[in-house]
Structure 1
Amino acid sequence: MENGRKASSLRWGILRRALIPSSSSTASDEQSEKGIKRISRKANQGFSLIPFRLVDNAKLEHKEVISPSLPKATEACVCYTLPNHNATELFLYQRVDNHANLEDFKICNTFDIDNTGLVCSWPSEEVLAYHCLSQLDLFRCKRVIELGSGYGLAGLLVAAVTEALEVVISDGNPQVVDYIQRNINANSSVFGCTKVKSMMLHWNHEELSDISNSFDIIIASDCTFFKEFHKGLVQTIKCLLKKEGHSEAIFLGPKRGNSLDEFLLEVKESGLQFTVNEIYNSEVWRRHESFVNGDTSWPNYEKDHCYPLLVRITL
């Protein structure tokens, strides 16, 4: 680690920067920034599987979905161009502010949720979307739900290109759900006959009675690293999947120490079946190997924390 700085010290630096944003910088600050970039798990590059570009809000045709409640400086619109599918474009509105918002903490405390869905689009979400793009027939005429979707890239992609019957894009954070709905509105022209809706959904079995046994496919990314939510997540899977026919949950997420193993133990103890696949897409694996072997575009890349494994869960 640079200058012998400990990881714990650098993580405190991340927290300090979030709580006390500063307009000035010093040589020491710049040195700390280099260390923070190395230790932070917030990825700015990811696997770069789906090309994207920032879009000027003023030039968008979807002006009705631009929120008047947030200053323009705190959010951005990102256009993703889906590869190998007629260059379909998806527009996602995202938060881009780099400091903590007290309202965020209040909502997290009120609803007993985390705020990671608003931080950024995480690499595993992009990999999930890319994987779905290579499995179009799997979703055709199916009812699909994405859990803990963040800004909803994977769910929107499934809705846009797979001819799914219905896609529900859900999260437990009401702020995130607001963004999901705006993103659904911004992309409604590409959904064809697929019914698409947002949903605020906590992983609480008691709250799922209205939609139990409703879905052929569940998709999710980076949902297993909060150990306190493992039991609720597993029960949600059991409740939502259809009992008749073939139904399955498709999860993508890194191992992250023993977090994934503990989640899979919960899956096994609940009576569900699962498989874990490390090499499920040749292009994803190729890029992983490139990062491991010296590609510096993702400076803090570590397989355990960054490379998503494919978990398929069935009843």
Structure 2
Amino acid sequence: MENRRDEKASSLRWKILRSALLSHPTPSNYEDQSQMIIKRISRRTTHGFNFIPCQLIDDERDGSDSSTRDARFCYTLPIPHAPQLFLTQRVDNRADLSDFEKCNRYNVDNTGLVCNWPSEDVLAFYCLSHANIFRSKKVIELGSGYGLAGFVIAAATEASEVVISDGNPQVVDYTQRNIEANSGSFGDTIVKAMMFHWNQEDVSNVADKFDVIIASDCTFFKDFHRGLARVVKHLLSKTGSSEAIFLSPKRGNSLDLFLEVAKENGMHFTVTENYDKEVWKRHEGFLNEDRDSWPNYEKGHSYPLLIRITL
């Protein structure tokens, strides 16, 4: 068992592909073995850091419409008197051809539809723990996916405005639906969904001045580094006191390469590894005594570093 635990993820992925290509898989427990391997190497974790507790409350797939792929989740913010957030998300374990067609058409990836990723959960917790950063400020989340951090800021920090943006139109549709469903939880905070692709030449649709930019796990795709850096610089240049707060794992050399591009664009940044005692405690647990609860946890791929970017 220990040897299997130490087997490289790349080797396990090839093992799944080899088995899938065989016309006659021989082991009777082939399916069980495949599922066990997938759980170990998949980056779509069902555990995560779990700072913002989440509960499935309504699986729309149970209805008569078999084509429905959505479910509603209740997120409970871990502070007194905070409202609950009800977010509709995609929950099936497959991708449609239409998903990839839209990705090709809009030059985006499909990861925002898959789930709320662990870095987004940590970003939401960090924003909740540092609510004073956002109070009375205008905030934009880039590459939001389902935008948990943006929704948390809108519901619990007294920000003046929160824009939750993504380049995938399907993701933006979910965001708009979830804004409408939670409108009573935002108080006086204005909350908007926005279609915003980092590589678009015309950024006039982001004409507002934002005090804070947030993003999680947005530096993985190297093809988007220059576009993302250009957008961040454009947004930061609109006001002298603004900053970008990123939470991103190293993901090989992808984060380092993005920071090089940011530096080339005249931006300054700091990278902090241990920025919150609770986040660090859970990180160390996943590496040690709590290993079995997140068996595919790897520091470089799973643990988000705190990056603060200014001009």
Q: TM > 0.5 between the two?
A: yes
Opposite residue 160 of structure 1, the aligned amino acid is: A
Shift of 1:210: 3.5
Does 2:79 correspond to 1:79?
A: no
Q: Specify which of 294, 297, 306 is matched with residue 293 of structure 2.
A: 297
2:51 corresponds to which residue? 49
1:85-124 paired onto structure 2 within 5 Å: 85-124=80-119
Give the structure-2-normalised TM-score.
0.90
Contact kept in structure 1, 2:16 and 2:34, CA below 8 Å: no
Q: Measure, in 1, the Cα distance between the counterparts of 2:261 and 2:205.
A: 24
232-241 or 1-10: bigger deviation: 1-10
Contact kept in structure 2, 1:212 and 1:241, CA below 8 Å: no
Note the alpha carbon deviations across 1:266-310, whole angstroms, 9 max, x for none.
111110010001111110000001111131111111100000000
CA separation of 1:177/1:4 partners in 2, compared to 1, >3 Å: closer, same or farther? same
1:63 corresponds to which residue? none
Shift of 1:15: 7.4
Contact kept in structure 2, 1:54 and 1:79, CA below 8 Å: yes
- Give the secondary structure class of the aligned counterpart of 1:255: coil
Opposite residue 51 of structure 2, the aligned amino acid is: L
1:282 corresponds to which residue? 277
Shift of 1:87: 4.0
User: Unaligned regions of 5+ residues in structure 1, if any?
Assistant: 19-24, 59-65
1:29 corresponds to which residue? 31
2:307 corresponds to which residue? 311
1:180-195 paired onto structure 2 within 5 Å: 180-195=175-190
Q: Measure, in 2, the Cα distance between the counterparts of 1:41 and 1:184.
A: 27
1:227 corresponds to which residue? 222
2:204 corresponds to which residue? 209
Contact kept in structure 2, 1:255 and 1:305, CA below 8 Å: yes
Q: Measure, in 2, the Cα distance between the counterparts of 1:251 and 1:271.
A: 17
Q: Measure, in 1, the Cα distance between the counterparts of 2:162 and 2:5.
A: 49
Instruction: Provide the identity percentage.
Output: 62
Q: Specify which of 107, 117, 120 is matched with residue 125 of structure 1.
A: 120
CA separation of 1:16/1:310 partners in 2, compared to 1, >3 Å: closer, same or farther? farther
Q: Measure, in 1, the Cα distance between the counterparts of 2:204 and 2:124.
A: 28
Opposite residue 300 of structure 1, the aligned amino acid is: N
Q: Measure, in 1, the Cα distance between the counterparts of 2:8 and 2:286.
A: 23
Shift of 1:199: 0.5
When the two chains are superposed, the root-mean-square deviation of aligned CA atoms in Å is 2.6
Q: Specify which of 259, 265, 268 is matched with residue 270 of structure 1.
A: 265
1:133-144 paired onto structure 2 within 5 Å: 133-144=128-139
239-248 or 204-213: bigger deviation: 204-213
Q: Specify which of 10, 13, 23 is matched with residue 11 of structure 1.
A: 13
Opposite residue 244 of structure 1, the aligned amino acid is: T
Note the alpha carbon deviations across 1:54-89, whole angstroms, 9 max, x for none.
11268xxxxxxx9x9974752111100000141420
**Off by >4 Å, runs of 4+ in structure 1:** 3-6, 12-18, 68-73
5-14 or 73-82: bigger deviation: 5-14
Opposite residue 286 of structure 1, the aligned amino acid is: K
